Amino acid sequence: MFWYHNMTKHSYNSVRTNPNRLSWEDQPSTYKNYPNSYKKKKLNLENEEEDFLYHIAGLTEKKTYPSGEYYLRINPSAGALYPNELYFQARGVAGIDDGIYHYEVSSSSITLLHGITEDLGLEPYLGYKTAMKGYLFLVSAIYYRSAWKYKERAFRYCLLDAGHLLGSVEMAGLLKPHAVQIVYGMEREKLNRMFGFEEREWFLSGLCMAVPIQGQSVEGIEFELPYVDGSGTFEAFPLIEEAYESSTLLQNCHKSLKAPKFTYKKENLRETIFQRRSQRGFAEGAMTKGQFNYLMDVIQQPVLSDCDEEVNLYVVLNRVIDMPLGLQKNGRYVKYGDFAKKAGYLSLEQYSLSTSGALAFFLTSKGENYQALYQKAGIIGHRLYIASGYLGLGCSGIGAYYDDEVNDFVENDEMVLYALAVGK
């Protein structure tokens, strides 16, 4: 996938010679709603399970601007375009009928798409031979929502945002509490057909928050859902479609079997999840060494996954009390100095974030499995959002940066996946 990554790099010249020109009349919808002929259930936040689902992708606040009304969500998205949709199977979950559902964000409802039985379900498509009690989540991408603005680079954002959504499930799962395992090795082509996506939507990943039901074998359920438009407008991007197809097959996967450990107070975490926001700038405030160590511990925790790729964490320390200025790689200094302005420049000259923030992060990888490594970067990014908010700090994800110049700065030739800034 180096070919796609290389073709979608930003440089100082490219962002000036190829600026995005938006066709506002073609702006896609960010909501997918199934017809009212499907059975829908409004989430009741007094119910523990439904409150858990709401804390994954619920609407949290409405903003009104001259151009219209915008709703903020629990999970972040590049440009607030939200290319990802969330589906899930519930089996043996209190208050929710066994079945396959779509999370309808616009109404905070779940839509029953198809029922399941004791011996039929989605489990085999995610690699499970036994019926699983709990949730099996599926994350898809309606890529034109992002491509409308970001063009060919949009597949990167679809994957990062999918990682944030997986991270959102992980964080909401701590409220139960329950460990989660990411599943990339699933039958995507079959699932895409069954759900009626017609090449305009694709599954990117799955997530298991369930336990085996001993002695209850299960076979793959078969169904064919009709196509439901999730964007309103559409334009094909052959490069993105080729990138998806060529990165679907997993190669030389390494399983991560160690569960992460997080230190938190449940009610404080719940409030942090609900109040998460992306910062637009920082006031050059400093953080403590203790806060820095907490953040690094959270984002370096393992990610349970059937295809774990190594992601390197570079962090520029701008303002951490009692710590030298410099650049760290995976928690160790690789060079000392004041690199605040350099970090701002590399982040597409967003100086109010990467220069004014206390920390600037750059995530890189040389892994083989593009979808898995990019979504892992999104999971790490989401952990950073939540951990920062938990400490009373702000965080902002930055998907645009000067790729090759970041490589020169951190002194590697890996794919640059994500940049983030944290501060006050």
Model pLDDT for residues 352-389, shown as the tens digit of each residue: 999 999 999 999 999 999 999 999 999 999 999 999 99
Instruction: Please tell me whether residues 309 and 221 are part of one structural domain.
Output: no
Tell me, yes or no, whether 7 lies in a domain. no
Tell me, yes or no, whether 123 lies in a domain. yes
- Is residue 65 scored above 70 in pLDDT? no
Segment 120-129 shows an average pLDDT of: 98
Whole-number percent of the chain with pLDDT over 70: 99
* Confidence (pTM): 0.97
Instruction: Please tell me whether residues 147 and 188 are part of one structural domain.
Output: yes
End-to-end CA distance of the chain: 37
pLDDT bracket for residue 228 (50, 70, 90):
very high
Domain span at 385:
277-423
pLDDT bracket for residue 401 (50, 70, 90):
very high
Instruction: Please tell me whether residues 316 and 234 are part of one structural domain.
Output: no
Of 223, 246, 269, the one marking the end of a domain is: 246
Alpha helices in 237-369 (DSSP H): 238-246, 266-275, 289-299, 340-346, 351-354
Instruction: Please tell me whether residues 186 and 302 are part of one structural domain.
Output: no
Helix 154-173 vs helix 238-246: crossing angle, to nearest 10:
50
Instruction: Please tell me whether residues 175 and 312 are part of one structural domain.
Output: no
- Residues 185/306, Cβ–Cβ less than 8 Å: yes
Q: What is the pLDDT of residues 278-329, one digit of tens each?
A: 999 999 999 999 999 999 999 999 999 999 999 999 999 999 999 999 999 9
Q: Which of 10-19, 151-160, 236-245 has the lowest mean pLDDT?
A: 10-19
Segment 42-49 shows an average pLDDT of: 94
The pLDDT value given to residue 23: 86
Residues 6+ positions from 392 with CB-CB distance below 8 Å: none
Helix 154-173 vs helix 48-57: crossing angle, to nearest 10:
150
Tell me, yes or no, whether 256 lies in a domain. no
Instruction: Please tell me whether residues 217 and 317 are part of one structural domain.
Output: no
- Is residue 122 scored above 80 in pLDDT? yes
Residue 34's SS3 state is coil
Segment 18-36 shows an average pLDDT of: 90
Tell me, yes or no, whether 172 lies in a domain. yes
Tell me, yes or no, whether 328 lies in a domain. yes
Instruction: Please tell me whether residues 58 and 159 are part of one structural domain.
Output: yes
**What CATH number corresponds to the domain at position 109?**
3.40.109.10
- Is residue 69 scored above 80 in pLDDT? no
> How far is C-alpha 138 from the chain's CA centre?
12
* Mean pLDDT, all residues of the chain: 96
Tell me, yes or no, whether 322 lies in a domain. yes
Instruction: Please tell me whether residues 214 and 287 are part of one structural domain.
Output: no
- Is residue 177 scored above 90 in pLDDT? no
196 torsion bin: left (phi>0), alpha (psi -120 to 50), beta (else): left
Instruction: Please tell me whether residues 199 and 285 are part of one structural domain.
Output: no
- Is residue 159 scored above 80 in pLDDT? yes
Rounded (5°) CA angle 25-31-37: 120
- Is residue 208 scored above 90 in pLDDT? yes
- Is residue 397 scored above 90 in pLDDT? yes
**Distance between CA atoms of 416 and 259, rounded to whole angstroms?**
26
Instruction: Please tell me whether residues 194 and 283 are part of one structural domain.
Output: no
Segment 78-85 shows an average pLDDT of: 96
The pLDDT value given to residue 194: 98
Instruction: Please tell me whether residues 286 and 354 are part of one structural domain.
Output: yes
Tell me, yes or no, whether 264 lies in a domain. no
- Is residue 67 scored above 70 in pLDDT? no
Of 200, 224, 246, the one marking the end of a domain is: 246
Rounded (5°) CA angle 420-393-422: 20
Tell me, yes or no, whether 72 lies in a domain. yes
Of 246, 265, 298, the one marking the end of a domain is: 246
The pLDDT value given to residue 68: 67
Instruction: Please tell me whether residues 229 and 320 are part of one structural domain.
Output: no
Count of structural domains, the chain: 2
- Is residue 75 scored above 70 in pLDDT? yes
